[in-house]
Amino acid sequence: MSEEFSFLKELGTDRSSLIKGLQLVQQKEGYVSDEAIEAVAAYFGMAPAEVEGVLTFYAQFKRIKPGRFQISVCDGTACHIKGSPQIQQWLEAELGIKDGETDAEGRFSIQVVACLGCCSLAPVMSVNGKVYGNLDRKKLVRVLNEYRKM
């Protein structure tokens, strides 16, 4: 196995650790590349197609390198009722990218997620895991501007 993926060795080779393995890859690289799939498949003694099949089943895994700031917009029920489609629309207009896309500079990427579990603060989004609640247009633009400066 190439050096790059040697961290997989902390897992047993039992297939039940496959998803964990892919999660480790994504944690390290931000996404799961073709090479990573080959490496993971080889490690668990599986065919690449099988690994790809498992990976593409789960929404968490990304096959395209995400931006520096990953925005997750919650579209859980509470957020939806409280206007998350609007938040998505504003975000897409502000950043010029859609759900699942990364901007040209590799700065922002947007993904719409099921529920961040912060329903009492709906509508919410998170940037690199940091949650912003009770969003309105003003607050949204303020948050984006903070990250634009970084």
Partner 1 sequence: MSEIHFKIDGVDRVAQPGDTILKAAEAAGIKIPTLCYNKKISRTTSCFVCVVKDKKTGKFLPSCSACPSEGQDIDASSDEVKEMRRTALGLLLSEHTGDCEAPCTMACPAHASVEEYVRAGKQGDFLKALKIIKQRIPLPMSIGRVCPRFCERDCRRNIDSKPVSINDFKRLAADLHYESYMEELPPLNGKKAAIVGAGPAGFSAAYYLRLEGVQADIYEKMPEAGGMLRYGIPEFRLPKDTLRKELAHFEKMDVTIQYGKELGKDISIADLSKQYDGVILAVGSWSPSSMRVEGEEYAEQGIRWLENIAAHNWKDLPNPGKTLVVGGGNTAMDCARTAIRLGGEVAIVYRRTRKEMPAQAIEVDEAVEEGAKLELLTAPVAVKKLEDGKLALTCCKMQLGEPDASGRRKPEPVPGSEFDMEADTIIAAIGQRTICPAEATATKRGDIAVNAEDLKVEGYENVFAAGDCVNGPATVVEAVAAGRKAALSAVDFFAGRKHVEPPVFNVSRGHWSSLSTDDLVYLHEVSKADRVEPEFIPMELRKTTFTELFPTIPAEKIMKEGERCIECSCTSKSECKLKKHSECLGVKPDMFKGERSCGKADTRHPAIIQDPRKCLRCGICVKICGEVVNNHLLAAMQRGFATRIGTAFGKGLPLACKDCGKCIEECPVGALDWKIKN
Partner 2 sequence: MAQIKRIKVGMASCGLAAGAQAVYDELKKIAGDIPVVGVGCIGHCYCEPIVEVETDSEPVFYSRVQGTAETAQKILSLSEDGRFEVPALRKKNELVFVTKLAGRIVPCDIEEYKANGGFSALKKCTAMKPADVIEELKKSGLRGRGGAGFPTGMKWSFLAAKQNPEKVMICNADEGDPGAFMDRSMMESVPYQVLEGMLIGAYATGATKIFIYCRAEYPMAIEHLTIAIAEIKKAGYDQLPGREKPLDIVIKEGAGAFVCGEETAMIASLEGKRGQPRFRPPFPTDSGWNGLPTSINNVETFANIAPVLNYGAENYAKIGTPKSTGTKIFALAGDLKNPGLAEVPMGVTLAEIVYEIGGAEPGTVKAVQTGGPSGGCIPADKFDVKVDYDSLKELGAIMGSGGLIVIGNDRCMVETARYFLSFTHKESCGKCTFCRVGTKRMYETLQRITEGNGTEEDIAFLEDIGPKIRMGALCGLGQTAPNPALSTLRYFRNEYEAHVKNKVCPSLACSALVDLKLDPANCIKCGLCRKTCPVGAIDENFVIDNAKCIKCNSCKELCPKKTIQRVPRGEGFNSNNQ
Binding site for partner 1 (CB under 8 A): 34, 37, 46-50, 52-53, 56-57
* Contacts of residue 12, Cβ cutoff 8 Å, sequence gap at least 6: none
What φ, ψ does residue 70 adopt, rounded to 5°? -95, 115
3-state DSSP helix/strand/coil % of the chain, to nearest 5: 50, 15, 35
Residue ranges in 118-137 that form contacts with partner 2 under rule CB under 8 A: 118-122, 124, 129, 131-133, 136-137
**What residue 12 binds from partner 1, partner 2, none (CB within 5 to 8 A, per partner kind)?**
none
CB closer to partner 2, 3 vs 45: 45
Residue with tokens 């719409």: 112
The contact mask relative to partner 2 for 8-37 (x = CB under 8 A, - = no) is ------xxxxxxx-xx--------------
What is the rounded CA–CA span in Å between residue 125 and residue 45? 39
In the bound complex, what is the minimum distance in angstroms from residue 20's beta carbon to partner 2?
7
**What residue 34 binds from partner 2, partner 1, none (CB within 5 to 8 A, per partner kind)?**
partner 1
Considering only CA atoms, which of 26, 28, 119 is closest in space to residue 77? 119
**What residue 48 binds from partner 2, partner 1, none (CB within 5 to 8 A, per partner kind)?**
partner 1
**What residue 77 binds from partner 1, partner 2, none (CB within 5 to 8 A, per partner kind)?**
partner 2
- The sign of the dihedral angle between the CA atoms of 113, 117, 121, 127 is negative
Q: By CB under 8 A, is residue 53 in contact with partner 2?
A: yes
What is the rounded CA–CA span in Å between residue 55 and residue 110? 19
Tell me whether the omega of the peptide bond preceding residue 66 falls within 30 degrees of 0, making it cis: no
Q: Please give the residue ranges that form the binding site for partner 2 (CB under 8 A).
A: 14-20, 22-23, 44, 53-54, 57-61, 75-82, 86, 89-90, 93, 113-122, 124, 129, 131-133, 136-138
